[in-house]
Structure 1
Amino acid sequence: MAAQDNEHAGNDPIIDEREERNPFTGEEDVTTGHGEREPFDETDEHEGVDTEEPEDIAEDLAAKRKRIEMDTEARHEAKKKRKRDLKKTQLKKQKRDYKHSLKLLNVIDKYIADEQKDEEEEEKKEEELIKIFQEQQKKWYKYRNLRRERLRAMKLLREEFIKVLEKLEDYFRGVSSDEDSEFDN
């Protein structure tokens, strides 16, 4: 429609007359004296006036109506296409987001599984260390008990040795006192 208005713009005498005047000075354009005609020149009095027949007007109106309907239909189609394109892009985004979500879930699941595995391994290591420590404690306890028993045994032997030494000493004293008494006599 805009192209049609631009096409008819040159045929409108009122607009042509306004265009010939300089908007800043209000004077007529210099080009009017160089072979251009005035819109309502006396030589051609019906130029610029619509002299079409009613059938021609009806045809023009039908053509305009058809163009308007085609433009409206084209706008509706363009609008539908934009909606389809928007839906397609939204679907693409949703698919992309879904894929990324699945990848993220897989990564998180793998991370959780790895963490659980690491925790289980650490618990096993701790249990092994605890077992080793308990075994070492048992060995140390056995060693302490054995040492204690040895010390008791050594203490008993020492006490017996001291008793034997005392008896021996008493015996030697007794023998030496008998010998001294024999020498004295």
Structure 2
Amino acid sequence: MSKGGIQFDPKAASLIMREEVERARQLIINHIRINGQNASGRTIASLKVEQPSEEETILWGHKPFGVLETGRRAGKIPYGFRSIIRQWMKDKGLHGTPIPYKTDRAHKYTPQERGDMSMAGAIAHTIANKGSKLHRTGGTADVYSNVVPDTMKRLGQRLIFLIHQSVGSIKLNNETV
């Protein structure tokens, strides 16, 4: 470009985009942990930053990522939902009240396992009929909803500063501004 024009560095802009999206990812992870929504760690592990080109940076998360703020609505549940809830309970360290047997014969499950299965069934039933507690209480906006606008604002400020540094001078009506 000619002397006095814009000497914009696309690699620097690409680096800024990557840094800001990585920062957003880390903030979202912190919010998930602060809110106590991290059980198995799969949601956090699903958050990935990709940069397919210098002009594009993407933050990926698995499909049900949105329920971190809205909760799960009532309705049709997937096959094996009770066992999914039971695994969630195990990841969270939650246990049901042990349900003792009334007979002395050999049994398939321990009293604790029976209590855990009963609790998982009750939770699955409540979610299917009423939705999750987070959904019933109106959700929250502090996992990613506040992070995205803040990231866009910071990104804009940093890119404008980069462009501002790149402008040597502007000629307007034969006067250097």
Shared fold, TM over 0.5 = no
Q: Which has the larger radius of gyration?
A: 1
For CA contacts below 8 A with separation 6 or more, give which structure has more relative contact order: 2
